[in-house]
Structure 1
Amino acid sequence: MRIAGSTALVTGAGRGLGATLVEALLARGAATVYAGARDPRDAENKDPRVIPLRLDVTDPASVRGAAERAGDVDLLINNAGIAGNGSLLTGDPERARAELETNFWGPVTVLRAFAPVLARNGGGAVVNVLSALSWLTSPLTGSYSASKAAAWSFTGSARAELRGQGTQVVGVHLGYMDTDMVAHLDVPKIAPEDVARQTLDAVEDGGEEVLADLPSERAKVALSGKPAGLEL
């Protein structure tokens, strides 16, 4: 689909990759960008095409309200995410559940609400921001990896289910990205601007999967090997 003239919604748009995606959409000529955030003040923008939208992806009522307000959307980007619990064996189980609520059930809830909207508006496209940790894991990322693996599986089933209504489904995988979430880690990181560029390129080119960096490329290859090859 063409970004120019489109109406997009980005979840988690208040900072990081979400805020970068908003700017990238504007640069490509999007007509309207709904910037979803729990506090819409975090997503305010001087460009009049940006509409801050109260949206908590873990709250079904909030999601339903957003779908009613943004009934003209033809490009949905599920970007909101959290991390930080660690091991599923020794970490806080409530924090692990919070990761699953945001990283897995969040995209499910949002897409359930917006799939009919996309259908009414010609099919359009949906992007799920995933991770190389959809495939790789370690004790330090056990719960986050599980949430992103579930989101990856959902992305595949949604792609098959929505193909009939003409909706393109794109899964985006990447390693560490230079945002607040991993600011404390001294590791190579991809720039969010690069991820946004590759993501929107895939939308416009009819792509289904983005491997944004070398870690995600290597992780995809490792899936065909032994289980130990998927451990960090």
Structure 2
Amino acid sequence: MSVLRGVPVAGANVVVTGANRGIGLAFVQEALAQGAATVYAGVRDPATAPEGTTPVRLDVTSDADVEAAARTCGNATIVVNNAGLFTGNRLVEAGDLDAARAEMEVNYFGVLRMTRAFAPVLARAGHGSFVNVLSVAAIAPTAFMGGYSPSKAAALNLGGIARAELERYGITVTSLIVGSVDTRMAAHVEGTKENPREIARTGLAAMTRGEWTCDTDTLAVESRARLARDPVRYEKSLGKLLYAAELRTGK
């Protein structure tokens, strides 16, 4: 592993996509609490930007929005690729490919679009860090997350390739493997959920240390351990969850 470390949050200029709620909002709050000089809140509607931030109109599926954001945030030193989409659809048994395409467009191409646009910005600064908010679904096929799991797996590989290409410019890339978090996206998930601020705090610390990947919470750590011990059994257990609701209701 490279010894290259990430950018300290204090004094940094931080861009966060999907910044108005959930994990994105937590990253905004944590960056401000740690003394970031500027936090650019990437949101579709600038009126929803959190207090204390510089609003930036940003839809990560829009080339024009991302290119404009790179110009507006020309002093950025940290980019948190947090914006995500989970449609709750199946993959092979879905009615059409629209949901899978939409998830790939946000969760993979959105990250790629942001990385391509902001890499020159960070390179001009002489250093910088990307933080990609991913999921346990990135490290194992998760059947009840039809298009979401493949899109996050693609983004995980993207992070590794981007790291290799950008390291010579002093740029780090940290991929966060996130478990169950108390957000709107995980409202359907039962059991213990982590506080989004803890995820943000852990993720920024991992970025500063220069870690390539980071399991941000207990579920992520335990999931990776179960996957390592018996990958077939682990994947089968995830497959069973696809039909759990039907089994509970008897339908």
Name the TM-score, length of structure 2 as normaliser: 0.87
Counterpart in 2 of 1:121?
A: 125
Matched, 1:87 2:114: no
Q: Matched residues in 2 for 1:137 and 1:226: separation? A: 10
Q: Matched residues in 2 for 1:156 and 1:134: separation? A: 13
C-alpha offsets along residues 56-107 of structure 1, whole Å, 9 cap, x if unaligned? 0000111000001110000000000010233111124201110000000000
Matched, 1:51 2:54: yes
Matched, 1:159 2:163: yes
Query: Which secondary structure does the structure 2 equivalent of 1:140 belong to?
Result: coil
Q: Structure 1 residues 148-157 or 128-137, which shifts more?
A: 128-137
Q: Matched residues in 2 for 1:24 and 1:93: separation? A: 37
Cα deviation for residue 159 of structure 1 reads 0.8
* Aligned partner of 1:136 among 128, 137, 140: 140
Matched, 1:10 2:13: no
Structure with max Cα Rg:
2
RMSD of Structure 2 on Structure 1 (CA) = 1.4
Query: Which secondary structure does the structure 2 equivalent of 1:139 belong to?
Result: coil
Query: Which secondary structure does the structure 2 equivalent of 1:53 belong to?
Result: strand
Question: What's the % identity of the aligned pairs?
Answer: 41
Contact 1:11 1:36 (8 Å CA) reproduced: yes
Matched, 1:98 2:102: yes
Counterpart in 1 of 2:180?
A: 176
Query: Which secondary structure does the structure 2 equivalent of 1:36 belong to?
Result: strand
Q: Matched residues in 2 for 1:227 and 1:148: separation? A: 20
Query: Which secondary structure does the structure 1 equivalent of 2:144 belong to?
Result: helix
Cα deviation for residue 185 of structure 1 reads 2.6
- Aligned pairs for 1:70-81 (under 5 A) are 70-81=73-84
Query: Which secondary structure does the structure 1 equivalent of 2:48 belong to?
Result: helix
Q: Matched residues in 2 for 1:83 and 1:66: separation? A: 24
2:56 partner amino acid: L
Counterpart in 1 of 2:245?
A: none
Q: Matched residues in 2 for 1:44 and 1:161: separation? A: 33
Contact 1:172 1:210 (8 Å CA) reproduced: yes
* Aligned partner of 1:230 among 212, 235, 239: 235
Counterpart in 1 of 2:67?
A: 64
Contact 1:223 1:230 (8 Å CA) reproduced: no
Q: Matched residues in 2 for 1:76 and 1:94: separation? A: 28
Counterpart in 1 of 2:38?
A: 32
Please list every run of 5 or more consecutive structure 2 residues that lacks an aligned counterpart in the other structure: 1-6, 239-251
Contact 1:135 1:230 (8 Å CA) reproduced: no
Contact 1:136 1:219 (8 Å CA) reproduced: no
Q: Structure 1 residues 206-215 or 216-225, which shifts more?
A: 216-225
Cα deviation for residue 136 of structure 1 reads 2.6
Name the TM-score, length of structure 1 as normaliser: 0.94
1:84 partner amino acid: T
C-alpha offsets along residues 35-58 of structure 1, whole Å, 9 cap, x if unaligned? 00111111141x2xx101000000
* Aligned partner of 1:108 among 108, 112, 119: 112
Q: Structure 1 residues 107-116 or 138-147, which shifts more?
A: 138-147
Query: Which secondary structure does the structure 2 equivalent of 1:141 belong to?
Result: coil
Cα deviation for residue 224 of structure 1 reads 6.9
Contact 1:11 1:78 (8 Å CA) reproduced: yes
Seen in structure 2, the aligned counterparts of structure 1 residues 42 and 200 have a Cα distance that, compared at 3 Å, is same
